[in-house]
Structures are given as structure tokens and as C-alpha cells.
Amino acid sequence: MNNRERFLRTIRFEPVDRVPNFELNLWEQTIDRWLDEGLPSGAVPTRAIMWGCEYLGIDRRDPVAVKLSMIPAFDEGIIEETERHRIYRDPEGRLRKALKVGESRGYRLSMDQYLSFPVKDRDDFRALKKRYDPQSASRYPAEWLEKVNMWRSRDYPLMLPDTGAMGFYWNLRE
């Protein structure tokens, strides 16, 4: 049974040889520790384990690069920075406070603190809706038709959207 068959049978509540093994991500600090404890270099593809990792027995799945995020994104920028933290505006228009202590390969040790969001009232929501035009050509990769044709013969599941392993809810919550 291949990964695609196993996944489809699982979501249809049909018998499978084993349950699919999908994971979210690893903190970069976890990988650093595992490397210090003897993990072979290159055995774990850092944060990309969600797409599969033979060494850890994580099944393959591929992302479908359809952009569900805002187009255009908000202008990003650092508002304030100290030795300990960084306050910045992200592409979704959120104001965030990031703890700098413990960063590894550009990833933080903890979740950011969310200070404000772009939607505070109905007018903000109406203005933001314009950034979610489903007809925007930039939502799809340039090689979209080639990818669709390639996916027809795959033996692994696909994942929508390409935002990690968070699914559609992730975009709604942002």
C-alpha cells in the first residue's frame, strides 16, 4: 500500500496496513539538540519533515503551492528592536513581539506575542476582503498545469494549502 492509498483509505474509514504518519514541524532547537546527541548530519531535513522524512519514518506528502494568504501582503517592517525582543509588522498586517533569545537558523524558541491585528471593526474587514480575490493570477504557480499533470500519477497525498501542516483553519485564524 503506498502513501496515497493509505491516506485515502484512512480518511474513508477503510482498513489500512498502518496509520499514516504525518508530523507538523520541529523546532530548530530540537534538531540542534539531536545533532549534539548523535543524529547523523543531513538525516532530518530541518523543518521540512512535514513533507516526509525516511530516517524518522514520516510519510511523504507534498504541498500544493496555492497562495491563500493576502495579495498584496502588508508591508513588513521592524517597529522596535532591543537585545531581547523585536516588534514587527508581518505580511498579514499583524503587530508581533518576537523573543530573540534562543533563535536558531532564523527560527525562534517560542511563539510570538500578538499585539494587534489588522481587523478591529467591520470597516477593517471590508477593506481586508479585497486582498483575498480568488481570481488573482498570482495565487497559482506559473507551472500550475504541469504540476497538475505530474500529480495525477503520484503515490503520495497532497496537502492544501502550502502553509505547513495547519490546513485551511490556519489561514482563517490569521
Residues 6+ apart with CB under 8 A from 144: none
Tens of pLDDT, residues 4-17: 999 999 999 999 99
Residue 126: φ, ψ to 5°:
-60, -40
Question: What's the confidence (pLDDT) of residue 109?
Answer: 75
Q: Strand, coil or helix: what is 89? A: strand
Question: 15-66, pLDDT tens digit by residue?
Answer: 999 999 988 777 788 888 899 999 998 888 766 777 888 888 999 988 888 8
Cβ(59)–Cβ(156) below 8 Å: yes
Averaged over 136-145, what is the pLDDT?
A: 86
The confidence band for 118, taking pLDDT boundaries of 50, 70 and 90, is very high
| C-alpha cell recorded at residue 127 | 477593506
Dump pLDDT digits (tens) for 71-107.
999 999 999 999 999 999 999 999 999 998 877 777 7
Predicted local confidence at residue 74, as pLDDT: 95
Beta carbons of 22 and 58 less than 8 angstroms apart:
yes
Residues 6 or more apart in contact with residue 62 via CB below 8 angstroms:
51, 151, 154, 156, 157, 158, 159
Distance of alpha carbon 78 from the chain centroid: 22
What is the CB neighbour count within 10 angstroms for residue 10? 15
Q: Angle 105-106-110 (CA atoms, 0-180°, nearest 5)?
A: 105
Provide the residue ranges of all domains of the chain, joining segments of one domain with +.
3-67+139-173, 77-132
Contact assessment for residue 95 and residue 87, using Cβ atoms and an 8 Å cutoff? yes
> What 3 state SS string does 102-127 have?
CCECCECCCCCEEEECCCCCHHHHHH
